[in-house]
C-alpha cells in the first residue's frame, strides 16, 4: 500500500512554509504549476458556476484566479501558507474586489465557518503536502477541512500529477462521502507523434473507474506524464454511493498511524 507519494517528490520539502517563502522571494513574478486556466477552463466551467463562492487552496503566485475573474467568476478567496506569496498577491490585486488573499495553513482553516464555499480548487497543494513529512496525516487534515468547508453539492477540484492509485485512498473515504469523477489531460505542449500540437481536445467524459476507484487495467494514457483532474462532489450523508473506500486509508489506519507517529 502506497500512502506516502514519494514517486514524484524530489529532495525539496514542498510541505514546508520556509521552503515556499524562500522560493517566492527568489521568484517574484507569477507562475502556474502544471496547467494554465485556459487548459482547465472547460472542466472548471463544467462544474463550478461563475456565481460560486470559490476557495483557492495554496494559490501561490499563480494567475489562475485572475484569469477566472476575467472569465466572470465573482468571488474567489485565495489562501496560502506563504506570507511572502500572500503579501505579494494582496498588493498586486488590491483593486480587484472579486479576489481576497489570506495567509493560512490548509490543515487548519478554522477561520472559515462550516459549509461556506461552493467550490474548492487545488492545483498542486495536496501534492505539496504529500511530499512533506507526515504526509498521510497532513493530507487527511487538509481534506477534512476541505470537506467541512464545502456546502452539500459543492465540489473539490483537485489538479494533480497523482494517479488514482496514489490519490484515491485519500479522497475516496467514507467520512467524506464524495462522488468522484476523474478526467485526464496531457501536460502542456504534449504532442501525439505525427499530430500538430493543437490537436489535443478536452474530453468532458469522465474516465470510467473500477469498483475500487482505479483506472481500468487496460487503460493507456496518450501522455504518460498527464495530469489528473478529480472532481469530488460532496454528497448528502444520507445518500449511499455506489462505491466506497474498500481499502486503504480508513479512519482506523489513520488513527493507528497517528498514535504510532508514523508517516
Ligand atoms: C505546487 S505550488 C502550487 C501553486 C498554485 N496553486 C499553482 O497552481 O501554481 C503549492 C502551493 O501550496 C502552498 N502550500 C504548501 N503547503 C501549504 C499549507 N499547509 N497550507 C497552505 N498552502 C500551502 C505553497 O506555498 C505553494 O504556493
Position 5 in a domain = no
pLDDT at residue 12 greater than cutoff 90? no
DSSP string, 113-127: PTT-EEEEEEESHHH
Position 12 in a domain = no
Position 97 in a domain = yes
Closest C-alpha among 165, 230, 204 to residue 8: 165
Position 243 in a domain = yes
State how far the Cα of 92 lies from the Cα of 33, in Å rounded to an integer: 19
Atom of ligand 1 at shortest range from CA of 64: 8
What pLDDT, on the 0 to 100 scale, is given for residue 28?
84
Whether ligand 1 lies within 6 angstroms of the CB of 33 is answered as yes
Mean pLDDT of 168-179: 95
pLDDT at residue 145 greater than cutoff 50? yes
Whether ligand 1 lies within 6 angstroms of the CB of 136 is answered as no
What pLDDT, on the 0 to 100 scale, is given for residue 10?
60
Q: How far is the CA of 105 from the centre of ligand 1 (A)?
A: 9
Cβ neighbours for 131, distance < 8 A, ≥ 6 positions apart: 5, 6, 8, 9, 10, 12, 13, 14, 15
Whether ligand 1 lies within 6 angstroms of the CB of 60 is answered as yes
State how far the Cα of 35 lies from the Cα of 65, in Å rounded to an integer: 13
What pLDDT, on the 0 to 100 scale, is given for residue 153?
97
Atom of ligand 1 at shortest range from CA of 35: 8
Whether ligand 1 lies within 6 angstroms of the CB of 125 is answered as yes
How much is the mean pLDDT over the chain? 87
Closest Cα to atom 18 of ligand 1: 105
Position 148 in a domain = yes
Mean pLDDT of 46-52: 97
pLDDT at residue 167 greater than cutoff 60? yes
State how far the Cα of 252 lies from the Cα of 250, in Å rounded to an integer: 5
What pLDDT, on the 0 to 100 scale, is given for residue 254?
47
53, 75, 143, 245 from 50: Cα distances, Å: 8, 8, 24, 32
Tell me which residue has cell 488514482: 164
Which domain covers residue 134, as residue numbers? 33-209+222-260
pLDDT at residue 261 greater than cutoff 60? no
Q: State how far Cα 16 lies from the chain centre.
A: 17
What pLDDT, on the 0 to 100 scale, is given for residue 263?
36
Mean pLDDT of 259-263: 40
Q: Are 182 and 228 in contact (CB under 8 A)?
A: yes
CATH code assigned at 229: 3.40.50.150
For 42, phi and psi rounded to 5 degrees? -55, -35
For 192, phi and psi rounded to 5 degrees? -65, 135
Whether ligand 1 lies within 6 angstroms of the CB of 128 is answered as yes
Counting the structural domains of the chain, the total is 1
Position 122 in a domain = yes
pTM, rounded to two decimals: 0.89
Closest Cα to atom 2 of ligand 1: 124
Q: What percent of the chain has pLDDT over 90?
A: 71
Q: How far is the CA of 256 from the centre of ligand 1 (A)?
A: 28
- DSSP character for 3? -
Q: How far is the CA of 142 from the centre of ligand 1 (A)?
A: 12
pLDDT at residue 8 greater than cutoff 80? no
DSSP string, 226-248: -EEEEEEEE--TTSPPSS---SS
State how far the Cα of 96 lies from the Cα of 6, in Å rounded to an integer: 38
Structure confidence by residue, pLDDT tens digits, 232-251: 999 987 666 655 544 444 44
What pLDDT, on the 0 to 100 scale, is given for residue 29?
92
Closest C-alpha among 118, 148, 142, 116 to residue 129: 142
Whether ligand 1 lies within 6 angstroms of the CB of 132 is answered as no
For 60, phi and psi rounded to 5 degrees? 55, -145
Cell of 211: 469498483
Structure confidence by residue, pLDDT tens digits, 183-215: 999 999 888 777 766 556 677 889 999 988 999
The sign of the CA dihedral 222, 227, 228, 231 is negative
Closest C-alpha among 263, 2, 1, 11 to residue 133: 263
State how far the Cα of 89 lies from the Cα of 237, in Å rounded to an integer: 37
Structure confidence by residue, pLDDT tens digits, 60-114: 999 999 999 999 999 999 999 999 999 999 999 999 999 999 999 999 999 999 9
Q: How far is the CA of 242 from the centre of ligand 1 (A)?
A: 32
Q: What percent of the chain has pLDDT over 70?
A: 84
Tell me which residue has cell 469498483: 211
Position 234 in a domain = yes
pLDDT at residue 26 greater than cutoff 60? yes
Q: Are 176 and 139 in contact (CB under 8 A)?
A: no
Position 10 in a domain = no
Q: To test ligand 1's pocket by mutation, which of 58, 112, 135 has the most ligand atoms within 8 angstroms of CB?
A: 58
Amino acid at each position: 500500500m502506497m500512502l506516502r507519494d514519494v514517486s514524484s517528490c524530489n529532495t525539496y520539502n514542498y510541505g514546508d512554509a520556509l521552503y515556499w517563502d524562500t522560493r517566492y522571494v527568489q521568484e517574484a513574478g507569477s507562475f502556474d504549476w502544471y496547467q494554465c486556466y485556459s487548459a482547465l477552463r472547460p472542466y472548471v466551467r463544467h462544474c463550478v458556476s461563475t456565481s460560486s463562492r470559490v476557495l483557492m487552496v495554496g494559490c501561490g503566485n499563480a494567475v489562475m484566479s485572475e484569469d477566472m475573474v476575467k472569465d466572470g467568476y465573482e468571488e474567489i478567496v485565495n489562501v496560502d501558507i506563504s506570507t511572502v506569496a500572500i503579501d505579494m498577491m494582496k498588493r498586486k490585486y488590491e483593486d480587484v474586489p472579486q479576489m481576497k488573499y489570506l495567509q493560512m495553513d490548509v490543515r487548519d482553516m478554522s477561520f472559515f465557518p462550516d459549509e461556506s464555499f461552493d467550490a474548492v480548487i487545488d492545483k498542486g497543494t495536496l501534492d505539496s503536502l504529500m511530499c512533506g513529512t507526515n504526509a498521510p496525516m497532513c493530507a487527511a487534515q487538509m481534506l477534512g477541512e476541505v470537506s467541512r468547508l464545502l456546502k452539500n453539492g459543492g465540489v473539490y477540484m483537485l489538479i494533480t500529477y497523482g494517479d488514482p492509485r496514489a490519490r484515491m485512498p485519500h479522497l475516496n473515504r467514507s467520512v467524506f462521502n464524495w462522488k468522484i469523477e476523474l478526467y485526464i489531460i496531457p501536460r502542456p505542449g504534449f504532442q501525439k507523434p505525427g499530430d500538430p500540437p493543437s490537436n489535443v481536445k478536452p474530453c468532458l467524459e469522465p474516465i470510467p473507474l473500477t469498483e475500487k476507484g482505479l483506472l481500468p487495467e487496460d487503460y493507456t494514457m496518450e501522455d504518460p506524464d498527464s495530469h489528473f483532474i478529480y472532481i469530488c462532489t460532496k454528497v448528502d450523508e444520507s445518500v449511499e454511493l455506489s462505491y466506497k473506500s474498500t481499502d486503504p486509508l480508513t479512519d482506523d489506519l489513520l488513527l493507528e498511524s497517528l498514535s504510532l507517529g508514523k508517516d
